[in-house]
Amino acid sequence: MPSRMLPVPAEFVGVRADTALARMTGLSRARVQAIIAAGDVTQAGRRLHKADPLAAEGLVTLYWEEVDRLAVHPVDVPELRIVHLDDDIVIVDKPVGVVAHPATSWTGPTVLGVLASRGISVARSGPPERQGIVHRLDVGTSGLMIVARSEPAYSVLKRMFREHTVRKTYHAVVHGLPDPTTGTIDAPIGRLPRADWKFGVVAGGRPSVTHYRTLEAFPLGTLVEVRLETGRTHQIRVHMSAVHHPLVGDPLYGGDMALAERLGLPRQWLHAVRLEFDHPVTGEPMRVESEPPEDLRRALALLRDPSGAVPPAA
């Protein structure tokens, strides 16, 4: 059976094995628990149980049949645009349908695969299938993403994201009109106990803060600007759903798909429009922006004019 040997990042030392390894490998926690229960996870020659804390010393060895699925396969996606490229970082404008890095549950294109196909190297730090990745966007979310190319950039960017000094701004269309029209959602996010592929506001979850403001209101929804202080999985989708304004086109978190179908929208209306940060090596102030892609622009035009007079795509 194929195996992988993983170093234990500092942030996972002392964390229970099933939780840490799920995040380190991209597998679901239930899948990791099954692998552990089969006796196929060891550290320093000792079999681990799911609640055992990971130690700082000694690689963790996992045996499972999907390991080969985590290789980075070079495949280009012409729609993925390089916004900025230097020796230390690359900023991409990710289209919908592309994930950041390989995962056992995904067989489609990845940002790392596109970069490899174009001969753009990335940092070697991080798990093998996530090398250079310092933050991610969902497969159904488009927009701006940074990948580290040098080791110093990787280290500094990880710290910057951890300390929330990278300013991340999104545009989203939500159901209804948020009240108040500008506000902050401060609520902990964690996996739901009986649906570990889904997240929610839960007691004991990780601290999560989302700021939003209304940009434009329509009869059938509202365009909002969202700024994240934290970067939890599905954070915008979870928080907006928690205040009863789920994203249009997001059935997982309560979006009405009848409206999405009227708008011709096969995914959530969510786009990472802006990144602001100091360059991790030079210290130069960076600000990059991205316009929403055609599917989101057309849906927005229909919201502005429900009669259906949609202008041609730009």
Q: So which residues are the catalytic ones?
A: 138
E strands, the chain, in order: 3-6, 41-43, 46-47, 60-63, 81-85, 89-94, 142-148, 167-174, 182-186, 189-192, 195-201, 209-218, 221-228, 270-278, 285-289
Asked whether 112 and 72 are in contact (CB, 8 A), the reply is yes
**Order of strands across the sheet that contains 60-63:** 3-6, 60-63, 41-43, 46-47
β partners of residue 174: 222, 247
Separation of alpha carbons 121 and 105, rounded Å:
25
Question: Do residues 160 and 311 touch, judged by C-beta distance below 8 A?
Answer: no
For 108-122, letters b (16+ CB in 10 Å) and e give ebbbbbbbbbeebeb
Show Cβ contacts of residue 104 under 8 Å, excluding neighbours closer than 6 positions.
25, 26, 27, 31, 66, 69, 70
Nearest CA to 27 among 197, 202, 161, 204?
197
Dist CA 152 CA 230 (whole Å): 22
Instruction: Enter the DSSP assignment of 275.
Output: E
CA 103 vs CA 67, 170, 195, 270, 272: distances in Å: 9, 25, 19, 22, 22
